[in-house]
Amino acid sequence: MGSQVLETGAYPAAFEAFEKALFPSSLAWTAPLRRASMDAFRALGFPTTRDEEWRYTSVAPIAALPYGVSPRPLNGAGARGADPAAPLVPDGAVRLVFVNGHFAADRSHAVGVPAGAVVTSLAAALESHRPLVEPHLGRLADSRHHAFTALNTAFMTDGAFVHVPPGMALPSPVYLVFISSPGSGANASHTRNLIVAGDGAQVSLVEVHTGAGAAAGFTNAVTEIVVGGAASVEHCRIGHESERSYHVSTLQAELARSAAFTSHSFALGGAIVRHDVNAVLAGDGADATLNGLYVLGGAQHVDHHTTIDHASPNGSSRELYKGVLDGRSRGVFDGKIIVRPDAQKTDARQVNRNLILSEEALVDSKPQLEIRADDVRCTHAATIGQLDPEMLFYLRSRAVDEAEARGMLMHAFVSDVVSRVKHESVRASLESLLAAKLGARGGGRTA
């Protein structure tokens, strides 16, 4: 239980009103799951820095906010004017768009989805595809021990549901776009995504979180991904929200026999951001890859916690997270690799590298190995450093000005993370976004 300041606040009372609205609807079958999750949240309270998993990140500003559930935007349209996600989503792409956590049909585009696959909002799936949803919803993400997951499960309003049947390969990425739009008051969204890839299926997803203007809000997102036997899932998450926003997210993936899962996480915005990325290699010969990049400035605080759980033999995992920190920003990387007693022949590698651009920036890096088997190959490494003065001198001696030289070195530092994204269109969008973000850092500004 957290301190008095960080207890559950008005959420239990808000849940009672929220639950009453569900009973007349076809969503009432989710009530037992929601109630159990709210009970767990009441018992847990918000985490505090006394909790080992949260020792570097205080959620007091989030707990103190009077957030409930964002009202549904009129006509589903939400944000007016230019679409803040447009630079990241190609024209004609299959996309589901959500504004303040609610599905915006007029902004979405699901043309071209192969017959047999389902790409729709979770709210619609709870009504129309219950047999596909019910076996998986809430099974992977742990509401019993994680307060924000419990809160999300209790209040989940909408999100994406993607179901790819066995043997099917979707030809292009599916974009899941979440827009925070300013309204009459503070808004919060508890979005829930469920991705199910059947045996031998292939799918790529791009999850984009952005904001209209300088919107301040709280996003509490949970994504559950089921990767069937010999299936392949690539998930790319791009966080480019207002630097006044708060964001907590959990991604939980489960891999069956010979399955392959790749996660790319790009954290470029937000005031306080916490990302948990967890993969359980439940089947023999499963393979997981976790890549991440955080580029921070000002007073931003971004905390990444990752867990790769090797629960079966012959699994492999690769993890690379990099950070660029400027101003008074703070980055946290807490990565854990677990090798269970039966997970012999595991091959796991983990690396975290950080580039510090200012005297006030701070990073806490905590790579961990928990090995309970004896026939494994596991390594981890972490580095924290600054731009190489010799390389800067070399470039300056060849008529490259200081700002451009700094930018070249930073681009070289981050490029190997971006290059690991499979789809060229996604890489191009990220390159453009990072060029603008790193351009400010190249000039030596630390604000």
pLDDT of residue 66: 66
Q: DSSP code of 25?
A: S
41 Cβ contact list (under 8 Å, min separation 6): 8, 11, 12, 143, 147, 150, 151, 154
pLDDT digits (tens, 9 = 90+) for 79-98: 445 677 778 898 889 999 99
pLDDT of residue 78: 46
pLDDT digits (tens, 9 = 90+) for 285-312: 999 999 999 999 999 999 999 999 999 9
99-103, 162-166, 353-357: lowest mean pLDDT where? 99-103
On whether the CB atoms of residues 92 and 336 are closer than 8 A, the answer is no
Q: What is the mean pLDDT of the chain?
A: 89
Decide if pLDDT at 443 tops 60: no
pLDDT of residue 404: 83
Backbone phi, then psi, for 292, in 5-degree steps?
-150, 150
On whether the CB atoms of residues 290 and 321 are closer than 8 A, the answer is yes
Segment 35-40 mean pLDDT: 95
Q: How confident is the model at residue 335 (pLDDT cuts 50, 70, 90)?
A: very high
Backbone phi, then psi, for 265, in 5-degree steps?
-125, 120
Helix (H, G, I), strand (E, B) or coil at 345: coil
Q: How confident is the model at residue 236 (pLDDT cuts 50, 70, 90)?
A: very high
* pTM more than 0.75: yes
pLDDT digits (tens, 9 = 90+) for 240-260: 988 888 999 999 999 999 999
Decide if pLDDT at 358 tops 90: yes
pLDDT of residue 374: 93
Decide if pLDDT at 231 tops 90: yes
